[in-house]
């Protein structure tokens, strides 16, 4: 059902620290899990994805971890910078449902200089 | 290369009025999506289209209709607008064969009074 009036959870970190953003997903049959970044007033931007048969994937300054046992996804950002301040969303896609792309709850990351 | 273009960017409607939100992509993508994002919330899938000629309901389809006019264009219609449909609407497109990345438009901010 709808969650009216809820606000996004917030993570506040110091510049240079590592950030960990967590997400719980619902569909065990999803083919890929994805992280998006959304800056104020803009549409979401793709960061990194991980296939459902993988546990870990690394990108530039980012690492995604997938724990299928507890349906948990995390995004680690190394040496967080002020430009990383944004809302981060996890998403999942199912190709047997025609590429249905569903977003999870976001987390607002605030980086203090 | 414009990516995903949405029109209009802003719209105010009176309760009961109808309107169509337009979306076009120039990346030759097969999949297109419509989402709504309420303040401080995540993105909820309204409808999606896996390919030209097909459309499927998402999480919150009630009160909306869509048309996949051709491969480039995917429109969203509100037949009788309600205040509960006040939101920011995002269109996105992706290509399964190229990966999971979806490209988003800049959004349409709709207010129903």
Residues belonging to chain A with any Cβ–Cβ distance to chain B shorter than 8 Å = 3, 6-8, 32, 34, 42-46, 49, 89, 93, 95, 97-106
Partners of residue B50 in chain A, C-beta under 8 Å: 98-99
Instruction: Read off the pLDDT band of A100 (50, 70, 90).
Output: very high
pLDDT over threshold 50, residue A42: yes
Report whether pLDDT(A28) > 90: no
Burial of B65 (0-12, 13-18, 19+ CB in 10 A): middle
Give how far Cα B16 sits from Cα of B11, B42, B112, Å.
Answer: 14, 26, 9
Binning pLDDT at 50, 70 and 90, where does residue A26 land? confident
Q: What is the Cα A13 distance to its own chain's centre?
A: 16
| CB pair distance less than 8 Å for A93 and B100 | yes
**B56 with A97: Cβ contact below 8 A:** yes
Q: Which residue on chain B is closest to A46 by alpha carbon?
A: B101
Answer whether A49 sits within 8 Å of B90, measured CB to CB. no
Do B41 and A34 lie within an 8 Å CB cutoff? no
- Asked which of A46-50, B73-77, B98-102 is least confident by mean pLDDT, the reply is B98-102
Q: What is the pLDDT of residues A63-98, one digit of tens each?
A: 999 999 999 999 999 999 999 999 999 999 998 888
- The pLDDT tens digits of the residues spanning A1-25 come to 333 345 689 999 999 999 999 999 9
- Measured CA angle at B92 (ends B89, B98), to 5 deg: 170
């Amino acid at each position: 059902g709808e969650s009216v009036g809820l606000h996004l959870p917030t993570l506040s970190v110091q510049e240079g620290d590592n950030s960990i953003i967590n997400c719980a997903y619902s569909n065990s049959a999803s083919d890929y899990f994805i992280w998006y970044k959304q800056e104020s007033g803009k549409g979401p931007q793709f960061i990194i994805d991980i296939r459902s048969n993988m546990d870990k994937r690394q990108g530039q300054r980012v690492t995604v971890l997938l724990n299928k046992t507890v349906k948990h996804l995390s995004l680690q950002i190394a040496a967080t910078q002020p430009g990383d301040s944004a809302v981060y969303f996890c998403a999942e896609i199912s190709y047997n449902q025609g590429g249905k792309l569903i977003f999870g709850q976001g987390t607002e990351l605030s980086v203090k200089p | 290369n414009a990516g995903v273009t949405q029109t209009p960017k802003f719209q105010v409607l009176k309760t009961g009025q109808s309107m169509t939100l337009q979306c076009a992509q120039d990346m030759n993508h097969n999949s297109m999506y419509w989402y709504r994002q309420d303040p401080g919330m995540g993105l909820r899938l309204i409808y999606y289209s896996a390919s030209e000629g097909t459309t499927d309901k998402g999480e919150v389809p009630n009160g909306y209709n869509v048309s996949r006019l051709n491969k480039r264009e995917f429109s969203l219609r509100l037949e009788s607008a309600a205040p509960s449909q006040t939101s920011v609407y995002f269109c996105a497109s992706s290509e399964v064969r190229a990966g999971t990345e979806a490209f988003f438009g800049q959004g349409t901010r709709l207010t129903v009074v």
